[in-house]
Copies of this chain bind each other. A is one copy, B any other.
Amino acid sequence: MSDTRQAELDDLLAAEPVPTRRPTVPALEEALYKVHPVLDHGFVRLIDYMGDDAAIVQAARVSYGKGTKTARNDRGLLRYLLRHRHTTPFEMCEIKLHVKLPIFVARQWIRHRTANVNEYSARYSILDKEFYVPAPEHLAAQSQNNRQGRDQVLAGAEANHVLELLRRDAVQTYETYDYLLNDDGKGEPADADRSMLARELARMNLPVNYYTQWYWKIDLHNLLHFLSLRMDDHAQYEIRVYGEVIGELVQKWVPTVWEAFMDFRVGGAFFSAKELEIIKKALDKDIVDQLLPESDLSMREKRAFRKTLDVPKT
């Protein structure tokens, strides 16, 4: 991040708060504009947010209108909506982040299409000499079972050699980039006897572990979908760490939604028709009868659980 942009955000951070009537989350106000470091040079920075737990409830109640006779409490409603994938009320919250990330991570990330993005342009501007090299504990071998996976971590001299090679190539390709740009930092030739190669061409020499940055804005429904995929064990470590930092922000922002998300999305499991048959046959109904009443499932959840698994109330 250039010094002027950094200074600009520092100004925002230092500025006196102003009054607003909009929904405001004190815990998130604390996090505004602060850098949350990720990987060796990356970060996540909260730029703005819209809505909170209550704003989701408010939007959902528009749909139910006069029909909502009984005052189902807000927490119960949020859990019900999340569980049953009534997704539109969650779209009523929005978050905007400034993210610095390696290009190969950006390439996975951008596949989430329902988001708004402004990325640093290497056609227009010059990329900083900042590249990602894994910490030794993340330098893993190729998994033999799973082509997308990692196996045991490399160690000792072997690991050092790998890191050395990655650094060497990153440094050399940037030197070439810098040479081709031939820019003295003020837009004039550093070496007046040579041309300045077009920026949009020179950048092609940089590897995908170089850092880019962007503003990224997304609604809460699509963000939860992003997190459910990117915080998952199957996600590449280098994007998962971004997911985890964003997850902490979401937890501060909409704590009730986060709890429901953990229960119903992250911690849950889906079984196919065939698997369900096996579970039904292997289930000890007496134990269910004993455990269900003492669980804190809602009445509605208990009924659905019995129905799905063919365990009639005795």
Contacts and interface: CB of A to CB of B under 8 A. Distances in A.
Q: Is the interface of A mostly helix, strand, loop or mixed?
A: mixed
A47 to B, nearest CB: 8
B65 A125 contact: yes
A23 interface: yes
A177 to B, nearest CB: 9
User: Which 9 pairs from chain A and chain B are nearest by CB?
Assistant: A267-B273, A67-B125, A17-B19, A65-B125, A91-B116, A282-B287, A204-B209, A113-B113, A67-B124
Contact of A117 (B88, B183, B273): B88
A77 interface: no
A164 to B, nearest CB: 10
B148 A124 contact: yes
Interface of A: 2, 5, 8, 12-13, 15, 17-24, 29, 32-33, 48-51, 55, 58-69, 83, 88-89, 91-92, 94, 96, 98, 102-104, 107, 110-111, 113-114, 116-126, 132, 134, 139-144, 147-151, 154, 158, 162, 165-166, 168-170, 172-173, 176, 179-181, 183, 186-187, 194-201, 203-209, 213-215, 217, 219, 236, 262-264, 266-276, 278-279, 281-285, 287-288, 291-292, 295-297, 301, 305, 308-309
A286 to B, nearest CB: 8
A227 to B, nearest CB: 14
Nearest to A140: B198
Contacts of A198: 140-143, 149-151
Given A111-B117, A179-B165, A142 B67 contact: no
Number of copies: 4
A272 B206 CA distance: 40
Given A18-B24, A22-B49, A284-B284, 11 more contacts: A17-B21, A20-B20, A21-B33, A50-B94, A62-B98, A67-B125, A123-B148, A141-B198, A142-B196, A154-B195, A268-B276
Nearest to A69: B187
Nearest to A290: B282
A155 to B, nearest CB: 9
B204 A67 contact: no
Listed residue (A17, A48, A96, A214) with the most chain B CB atoms within 10 angstroms of its CB: A48
Given A33-B21, A96-B92, A201-B139, A63 B147 contact: no
Contacts of A62: 5, 98, 118-120, 213-215
